[in-house]
Structure 1
Amino acid sequence: MPEEARWYVVHTYSGYENKVASNLEKTVENRQLHDLIQQILVPTETVTEIKDDKKRDVERKIFPGYVLVKMILTDESWYVVRNIRGCTGFVGPSSKPIPLTDEEVARLGVEKREIEVSYDVGDSVQIIDGPLEGFVGVVEEVDKEKNRVHVTVSMFGRETPVELELNQAQAME
């Protein structure tokens, strides 16, 4: 039996994504399948719409007709997911579930990976990636939620604020 849960994509009837996700969560709860089916996700994004000169924030599904499920694939877990009302099957050849690769999971931003950094506000860092590679700056702000660090770099005799990803800078030794 595989010990690690993987992400699978489940195809649903259009507009049934939330219903499939909630029904699946209830089934997992009722059958005590938390160890097999660990997480159910309907990826959404918030978009600002302007209609009749009014701004509104609207939540939209990123992949209409699909639900992401993190599970250990067994006959039982496959059967439970496959037989949820509104589910048409797994994405893969002839409904054989194919897990998402680690790269796909990272690109989709499904799982938040905690990045440990060895620097903090006020520390000097060296930029190790991007157009400013090799420059040295001072950390102004670290935002682990958004995977960002704000650094002030001295360029051409001026202090210039720069926003980088956490892994684009490293502490000076």
Structure 2
Amino acid sequence: MYKNWYAVQVRTGKEDKFVEWCEKKIDHQAYKDIFIPKVMMAKKYQGKWHDEKRVLFPGYVFVISDTPEKLFQELKKIPDLTKMLGEYKGEIFPIYSKEVQYLLKYDQQGHVVKMSTGYIEGDHIIITDGPLKGYEALIKKIDRHKRLAFIEINLLNQPNIIKVGLEIISKQ
């Protein structure tokens, strides 16, 4: 049973290439899964809205493994590795279970977070559908014109503001 998740810092923009290299060059017994969480966002160009996938945590790749030492040795073979997060005095610590549960909630099919929909009533945001439903308190800011919500989550005890897709249907 693989239960430990690790975050690997890589060069921003090289996440897909890093995963591709890992799948080709490292021992697959060192990990169960290696992936880049992505997010669906709406972007307007040529006068129309288009769905677009973007990296949820630019510069990070996530790995599920029960053999962190072996994993770290294997990852050293790959260019663009910056460091494994949670490394302290030669030991590697997994992402906290609370953070894993949070990431799993947002991890939809294929490691892609789908867009949420909702409406504004007075000063309150009410999410009617999508992964933000029930987590309205995490929303720090919205950009209705770009269809984005800025949410704050903790990853390895550090607050991170991430952008996720949010379409506001109406404002009352």
TM-score (norm 2): 0.55
Query: How many pairs are equivalent?
Result: 108
* CA distance 1:54–1:4, shift in 2 (3 Å): closer
* CA-CA distance at 1:106 after TM superposition: 1.1
* Structure 2 contact 69–92 (Cα < 8 Å) conserved: no
Q: Decide which structure has greater strand share.
A: 2
CA distance in 1, matches of 2:2, 2:51: 37
* CA distance 1:70–1:14, shift in 2 (3 Å): same
CA distance in 2, matches of 1:60, 1:15: 11
* CA-CA distance at 1:96 after TM superposition: 4.2
CA distance in 1, matches of 2:32, 2:107: 13
Tell me which residue corresponds to 2:6. Answer: 8
CA distance in 1, matches of 2:57, 2:68: 25
* CA-CA distance at 1:74 after TM superposition: 4.6
Tell me which residue corresponds to 2:83. Answer: 89
Letter aligned with residue 46 of structure 1: M
Equivalent position to 1:64, from 58, 78, 89 = 58
* Structure 2 contact 34–64 (Cα < 8 Å) conserved: yes
Tell me which residue corresponds to 1:79. Answer: 73
Gaps of 5+ in 2: 109-130, 134-172
Gaps of 5+ in 1: 113-145, 149-173
The percentage of counterpart residues that share the same residue type is: 25
* CA-CA distance at 1:54 after TM superposition: 1.4
After superposition, give the CA deviation of every residue in 1:68-127 in whole Å (9 maximum; x if it has no partner). 001123533211113311111101245742201221111012767xxxxxxxxxxxxxxx
Stretch of structure 1 that moved more, 48-57 or 37-46? 48-57
Tell me which residue corresponds to 2:127. Answer: none
* Structure 1 contact 5–72 (Cα < 8 Å) conserved: yes
Q: Identify which of structures 1 and 2 has the higher relative contact order when contacts are C-alpha pairs closer than 8 Å and 6+ apart.
A: 2
Cα RMSD, aligned residues only: 2.5
Tell me which residue corresponds to 2:94. Answer: 99
| 4+ long deviations beyond 3 Å | 93-96
Tell me which residue corresponds to 1:130. Answer: none
Tell me which residue corresponds to 2:117. Answer: none
CA distance in 2, matches of 1:74, 1:91: 12
* CA distance 1:64–1:37, shift in 2 (3 Å): same
Larger-gyration structure (1/2):
1
CA distance in 2, matches of 1:26, 1:60: 23
Tell me which residue corresponds to 2:114. Answer: none
